[in-house]
Chains A and B, each alone.
Chain A
Amino acid sequence: MATARSQVARANSLRLFELVFVLMSAVQPITRRQIIDLVSEYRQTGDGPTLQRMFERDKQTLRELGMNLETSETDGGEAYRLRDRSFTLPEIDFTPQERAMLTLAGRVWSENAMARESQDALRKLAAAGVELDAAPSLAFQPSVSAREQAFQPLWEATARRRRVRFSYRTSTGTTSERHVEPWMLGSRSGSWYLIGFDRDRQERRSFKLSRITSEPRAEGPDASYEVPEIDRAALLASLAPAPGTQQAVLAIRGEYAPMLRRRGRPMVVVGDGPELPEGYRTYEVPFNREADLAAEVATHGADVLVVSPPALRETVIDHLQRVVAAHGGAS
């Protein structure tokens, strides 16, 4: 079976080549009649419904290959020509240093369809004379992965500017159907996000791809909306939590809790309050949600203590008591 099928594919591909060659070498639009005469398999098949199906399928394949097939009416009936040669790779050259970077870039994608796409792209460049290093440097190894199932359909919709719909589960756990005009896809901290115009809510929204629970379906024609001029990198960066508006004073021991110290600013506490044990220094650390900072402080145990505000200290103490109750066993 497999052999029979691949022989059919082989016959098809040579027929397609013949058709492409006929179209490319024609100076004038070429009529359907002439095409049937010039492509051997069409000629052998003879005009009729079988040939018509074959011809329609082949025209569709040429379009999928990126060829702009134009149709016109002539005295001899319907005629065809290829509008331009943009389906072949234009002249392009890369310096040896640029080639080294391309080689590294071709290895960025891991284990998904995009990994194959970049290898195919490099093969085309190689055929156009852009030979790449066989053994690139291992000093710089970027990697991008898109394991989220929704990536491929959303990328296609984004590239073609088609509207999409999908089911989306919010962080609070409610799932609903969304209708979105995709503006961009972004990867941040290893997660992919779709940013676009939410047609139900009539405003810009971002969606984490791992929370999309149905396969996104594209609707309507290509280019059905405009993407506004936006600073895409800034928009993606804005998904990070906003900097804190409240200030906590934390006592941190020695070189512990480095990420908290880095977010904070060393300061001296004046006024009353207990004398801190030796080796502790105080830092002012901005925060938004008391519960989030309390949980973070709790992970450091006695290495980080809350000096103020007192309400935050109470929250941390309560949090620690719940740790003991949940995980402390008998003691």
Chain B
Amino acid sequence: MKAIDDVERIFLMIPWLEQHPGLTLAEAADHFGIRPERLRHELEQLSMIGADPEAIAQGRFGYLIDFEEFDDGTFVVRPSEYVQRPLNLTADQALSLVIGLRALQPLVSSEATEHVASALAKLERLTGDAASRVVVQVASGADEVRRTLAEAIEDGCRIQLSYDGANRGMTTHPVVDPVSLVVRGGAAYLQAWNVESEGWRTYKVSRVARARILEDSAVDHGPAPALPETWFSGQEAERVTLDLAPEAHWIVEYDPTDEWHDLPDTEGRGPTRRVTMPLVSETYLTSRLLQLADAVAVVEPQDAGETAARVARDALQAYSLLWGA
């Protein structure tokens, strides 16, 4: 703990203690994560700092703080005018909150957006223009869809989605009870109870083509499971090992990987990158193999490419039938 951190803490502790009289030293110390003995020592020392010897000599209040302990273990702190306010927000502190509010803006309902905007305006008055040099954009789909989802959550409505499935999926029309909008890895997701399959599902908001509010109210299904911090942490998932040609190296920037390293470049066409990654889903791997073709080779498991090859053969057959290719 550096002295500068202590000074910051004391500056915010004094006004907080003034507003929370009647605590014991142990309770107050716990709030700030320090030991009660230390809190008492600090308050005693601060109450002996006097900046106005003349006032003190005349018996007037001339100390930094007034600190008084009572028999029941509680205490009060009366600050002088100099320590009634905490230190101003640092640039980093203000920025972190400003970005937080901006990230919230696209998720909430139209009404809440106004509260976000007015809170932002107040914070920006404190901090100058540096925070405006950071911009966060979340892939959160069409405005209209997102507002409908936010309002359905706030009003407890059941909705029907037109949902565009990923990885060779198709459009489906699930009826769901929506509970939350969550952002992970720069994209917004809807957590909802799927009425037909009777389970919690997560939908990527940018894939919701339409959301329609139904007459029925949403039913309470208890708390939704918490989403992991990082998408597809994939602890239990099987592993797949791929060799990537240089033109396919970019996938390590987009897909979750455990580890990758470059193999020695023997053929002079750039190094092969060997990557081990969790097998998020079979359809995901099939899509990547179909997309990358011979720029990727499956090292392990060896049969992982079979589905991709079968899909490719079916497509080639269709071309052959239709265009005689």
Residues of A within 8 A of B (CB): 6, 9-10, 12-14, 16-18, 20-22, 24-26, 38, 61, 64-66, 86-90, 92, 94-95, 97-98, 100-102, 104-111, 113-115, 117-118, 120-124, 126-129, 138-145, 155, 158-160, 171, 173, 182-191, 208, 210, 227, 232-233, 236-237, 254-259, 261-262, 274, 276-277, 295-296, 298-303, 305, 313-314, 316-317, 319-329, 331
Q: Beyond A90-B88, A143-B229, list 5 extra A-B contacts (CB 8 Å).
A: A65-B8, A105-B119, A117-B93, A305-B319, A325-B294
Chain A CB within 10 Å, residue with most, of B94, B112, B303, B311 = B311
Report chain B residues within 8 Å CB of A88: 11, 85-88
Residues of A within 8 A of B118 (CB): 95, 98
Is the beta-carbon distance between B103 and A144 smaller than 8 angstroms?
yes
**10 closest A-B pairs by CB:** A190-B186, A327-B305, A258-B164, A105-B100, A13-B6, A328-B309, A108-B100, A12-B3, A121-B93, A301-B311
The answer, yes or no, to whether B246 is at the interface (CB within 8 Å) is yes
- The distance in angstroms between the C-alpha atoms of A299 and B155, with both chains bound, is 40
| B246: contacting residue among A158, A173, A317, CB under 8 A | A173
Assess whether A117 is in contact with B95, with CB atoms less than 8 Å apart.
Answer: yes
Contact at B186–A158, with CB atoms within 8 Å?
Answer: no
Give 30 pairs: A residue, B residue, CB < 8 Å, sorted on A: A14-B46, A17-B10, A17-B64, A21-B82, A24-B82, A88-B88, A97-B112, A98-B115, A106-B100, A108-B100, A109-B96, A110-B229, A121-B94, A123-B12, A124-B93, A127-B19, A139-B153, A142-B100, A142-B138, A144-B100, A299-B287, A313-B319, A317-B319, A321-B316, A323-B293, A324-B313, A324-B316, A325-B294, A327-B309, A327-B312
Q: Kindly report which residue of chain B lies nearest to residue A24, judged by CB atoms.
A: B82
Q: How far is the CA of A300 from the CA of B92 in the complex (A)?
A: 46
> Quick check: A258 and B89 within 8 Å, CB to CB?
no
A221 to chain B, nearest CB (A): 16
If A255-B171, A259-B207, A301-B312 touch, whether A326 touches B305 (CB-CB below 8 Å) is yes
Distance A10 CA – B203 CA, assembled complex (angstroms): 52
Task: Pick the contact of B293: A16, A129, A158, A322 (CB < 8 A).
Answer: A322
Residue-by-residue, is B29-68 near A (CB-CB < 8 Å gives 1, otherwise 0)? Answer: 0000000001001100110010110000000000010000
Known contacts A121-B93, A127-B86, A259-B207: A92-B126 contact under CB 8 Å: yes
State whether the Cβ of B184 lies closer than 8 Å to any Cβ in chain A: yes
Indicate which residue in A118, A303, A313 contacts B325 across the interface (CB closer than 8 Å).
Answer: A313
In whole angstroms, what is the CA distance A226 to B166 when docked?
44
Q: Which residues of A contact B26 (CB under 8 A)?
A: none
Residues of B within 8 A of A (CB): 1-4, 6-8, 10-13, 15-16, 19, 38, 41-42, 45-46, 49, 51-52, 64, 82-83, 85-97, 99-101, 103-104, 107-108, 112, 115-116, 118-119, 122, 126, 130, 132-139, 150, 153-154, 164-165, 168-172, 179-187, 207, 209, 223, 229, 246, 249-250, 253, 270, 287, 289-294, 296-298, 303, 305-306, 308-309, 311-319, 322-323, 325
Residues in A whose Cβ lies below 8 Å from that of B135: 184-187, 232-233, 236
Q: A97-B115, A120-B93, A300-B168 are in contact. Are A232 and B132 (CB under 8 A)?
A: yes
> If the complex has contacts A139-B179, A237-B137, A296-B291, are A98 and B4 also in contact, measured as CB distance less than 8 A?
no
Q: Are A140 and B97 in contact (CB under 8 A)?
A: no
Q: Which residues of chain A have C-beta atoms less than 8 A from B64's C-beta? A: 17-18, 21
A171 partner residues in chain B, CB cutoff 8 A: 250
- On whether the beta carbons of B293 and A326 are closer than 8 Å, the reply is yes
Neighbouring B residues of A104 by C-beta, 8 Å: 100, 104
Are the CB atoms of A14 and B104 closer together than 8 Å?
A: no
A114 touches B133 (CB 8 A): no
Bound-complex Cα distance A322 to B49 (A): 80
Q: Known: A98-B122, A121-B96, A139-B153. Contact between A89 and B112, CB under 8 A?
A: no
The distance in angstroms between the C-alpha atoms of A101 and B116, with both chains bound, is 6
Contacts of B51 in A (CB 8 A): 21-22, 24-26, 38
CA distance A20 to B64 in the complex (A): 10
Are A100 and B115 in touch, CB under 8 angstroms? yes
B306 lies within 8 A of A327 (CB): yes
A13, A16, A105: the one contacting B97 at CB < 8 Å is A105
CB of B119 within 8 A of CB of A98, answer yes
Task: Across the interface, name the chain A residue whose C-beta is closest to B46.
Answer: A17
Contact B97 A102 (CB under 8 A): yes
Q: Which residues of B contact A6 (CB under 8 A)?
A: 1
Q: Which of B4, B246, B289, B314 has the most CB of A within 10 A?
A: B4
Indicate if the CB atoms of B309 and A323 lie closer than 8 Å. Answer: yes
Partner of B290, one of A142, A227, A323: A323
- Chain B residues contacting A115 (CB-CB under 8 Å) are 96
- Please tell me if the beta carbons of B10 and A109 are within 8 angstroms of each other in the complex: no
Determine if B186 and A189 form an interchain contact, defined as CB atoms under 8 angstroms apart: yes
Q: Which residue in chain B gives the minimum CB-CB distance to A151?
A: B134
- Residues in A with CB closer than 8 Å to B95 are 114, 117, 155, 159
Contact A18 B171 (CB under 8 A): no
A108 to B308, alpha carbons, bound, how many Å?
39
**Residues from chain B with Cβ under 8 Å of A158 in the complex:** 130, 133-134
Are the CB atoms of B209 and A258 closer together than 8 Å? Answer: yes
Residues of B within 8 A of A186 (CB): 134-137
Instruction: Report yes or no: B305 in contact with A95, Cβ–Cβ below 8 A.
Output: no
How far apart are the CA atoms of A52 and B160 in the complex, in Å? 73
Give the CA-CA distance A295 to B15 in the complex, in Å. 62
Q: Report the minimum CB–CB distance from A29 to chain B (whole Å).
A: 15
Q: Are A236 and B19 in contact (CB under 8 A)?
A: no
Which A residues touch B86, using CB under 8 A? 88-89, 124, 127-128
Q: Is the CB of A139 within 8 A of B134?
A: no
**Contacts A255-B170, A299-B287 known; A159 to B133 CB distance under 8 Å?**
yes
Which residues of chain A are near B316, meaning CB under 8 Å?
317, 320-321, 324
List the A residue with the shortest CB-CB distance to B131. Answer: A159
Shortest Cβ distance from B311 into A: residue = A301
